[in-house]
Chains A and B, each alone.
Chain A
Amino acid sequence: MKLLFKLLLAFALISLVFFGLGLPAASNGASADEAEDKLIEAFKAIAEAERMGGNVSSLVAELNEAIRLLEEGETYKNESLIDEAFLRAESIISRTSEVGREGAVEVQARVFQGVIVIVVFVALALVVWRYGPRLFWRLWVRGNGKRVVHRRTREAQGRNKRRKG
């Protein structure tokens, strides 16, 4: 009975150690090819978010970090680095739709702002076209109103010559 208990205990311990060690590796266990595919998927998601008008600069920085991890993982045959690259790519993909949505809202706001500015500009142009000349000439007359403008005719030129002579 005691032996059976000991055997069961040993089996439980061995199982625990086996599964305990196995768990981190089995958490993802992505191969380099799978990680590379995931990076490409992340890039496509980023490109889409950018097309929607999102600010993807931080996502691009993270993707480059994931690329570096994959390269190091492949160079040093380090599976945990490859796993990390895979997980980071997944995390990027999960956030791109939110960035894209934010970008789309921003684009809409910019278009709305643009329409308002154009309407104001056109209204202003109409006001300037209608009242600008009058305002300008009033100001000109105020500054130069005392000037006497002579019309230059042949008779006047002749008169001037005679005076000089």
Chain B
Amino acid sequence: MIDEEFLAVVLAIIVVAAGIAVLQIFPIGRIAEPFSELAVLGPEMKIADYPKEIVAGEPFKLYLYVRNYEGKVMYYNVRVKLGNSSTQINETEPMNVPVMTRYDVVLLDGDNFTWPVALSIDEPGVNYRLVFEMWVYDEGSDGFRYHGRWCQLWLNVTTPIVP
């Protein structure tokens, strides 16, 4: 006959193991609200030291960071545009100016990607607005759609000094 104490301990272990197994079948980490991250980082890959004054025609360095929390694989397309203080942009409407350049990446859920970006502006001027818009591929419309995420940098572009 099996000892009752031993039986009780075995039963308790089996109950705990079964509980853990059931929890694994119904994972608790489901995404409640899917979202994506877009960030512009300075030349040192930090959220600091952003350029404010640049020289026309000279490239300046930045980093672009994208993270996928959408719960599925996503095709991101970050569009770089140049506007000024009067150019409009918000969460529903992208900036209505030509695209300077674009960066594409496909990310699995939970993955992120950082691009080193070298840009230059040829025309001197003040209060330039360098905008980074996040677009995603939408299977419903079979095309890229503005995802409502955007970042900006205000820049003054000076004339290069001629020796």
Listed in ascending order, the chain A residues whose CB lies under 8 Å from chain B are: 40, 43-44, 46-47, 50-51, 56-57, 60, 63-64, 67, 71, 110, 113-114, 117-118, 120-121, 124, 127-128, 132, 135-136, 138-139, 142
Q: How far is the CB of B75 from chain A (nearest CB, A)?
A: 5
Q: Within 8 Å of chain A (Cβ to Cβ): is B72?
A: yes
Q: 13 A-B contacts, Cβ less than 8 Å apart?
A: A50-B72, A50-B73, A57-B108, A60-B73, A60-B107, A63-B106, A64-B106, A110-B25, A121-B22, A124-B15, A135-B4, A135-B7, A139-B8
A40 near B105 with CB under 8 A, answer no
Across-interface contacts of A136 in B (CB, < 8 A): 8
Contacting A60 at CB < 8 Å: which of B4, B106, B139?
B106
Complex: how many Å from CA A124 to CA B14? 8
Selected contact of B108 from candidates A60, A127, A135, A138, CB within 8 Å? A60
Cα–Cα distance between A135 and B18 once the two chains are bound (Å)? 20
Interface pair B105/A67, CB less than 8 Å apart: yes
**B14, B25, B108, B137: which contacts A117 (Cβ < 8 A)?**
B25
Q: Is the CB of B72 within 8 A of A47?
A: yes
Given known pairs A114-B25, A117-B21, A117-B25, the reply for A47 and B139 (CB within 8 Å) is: yes
* Candidates A40, A118, A138, A139; contact of B75 at CB < 8 Å: A40
Say yes or no: A71-B104 contact (C-beta < 8 A), given A47-B139, A50-B72, A121-B22.
yes
Binary interface profile of B, 3-39, with partner A (CB < 8 Å = 1, else 0)?
0110110010011001101100100000000000000
Complex Cα–Cα for A128 and B22 (A): 17
Contact (Cβ within 8 A) A117 B22: yes
How far is A124 from B106 in the complex, measured between Cα atoms in Å? 45
* Residues of B contacting A57 in the complex (Cβ-Cβ under 8 angstroms): 108
Given the complex of chains A and B, what is the CA–CA distance between A117 and B107 in angstroms? 33
Tell me, in angstroms, the Cα distance from A5 to B8 when the chains sit together: 101
Contact B104 A46 (CB under 8 A): no
Query: In the complex the two chains form, what is the Cα distance from A148 to B137 in whole Å?
Result: 76
Closest 6 CB pairs of A and B: A114-B25, A121-B18, A117-B21, A43-B75, A67-B104, A63-B106
Q: Give the chain B neighbours of A142 by CB distance below 8 A.
A: 4
Contact residues of B between 93 and 110, Cβ < 8 Å to A? 104-108
Beta-carbon contact of A56 and B4 below 8 Å:
no
Residues from chain A with a CB closer than 8 A to the CB of B75 are: 40, 43
Residue contact A124 to B18, C-beta cutoff 8 Å: yes
Residues of chain A within 8 A of B14, CB atoms compared? 124
| Chain B residues in 8 Å Cβ range of A43 | 73, 75, 106, 137
Q: Are A47 and B73 in contact, with the CB atoms below 8 A? A: yes
Collect the chain B residues with CB atoms within 8 Å of residue A128's CB.
11, 15
A128 to B12, CA, bound (A): 9
Q: Which residues of B contact A40 (CB under 8 A)?
A: 75, 137
Residues of A near B15 (CB, < 8 A) are 124, 128
Pick the contact of A121: B21, B72, B104 (CB < 8 A). Answer: B21
Residues of B near A71 (CB, < 8 A) are 104
CA distance A143 to B137 in the complex (A): 68
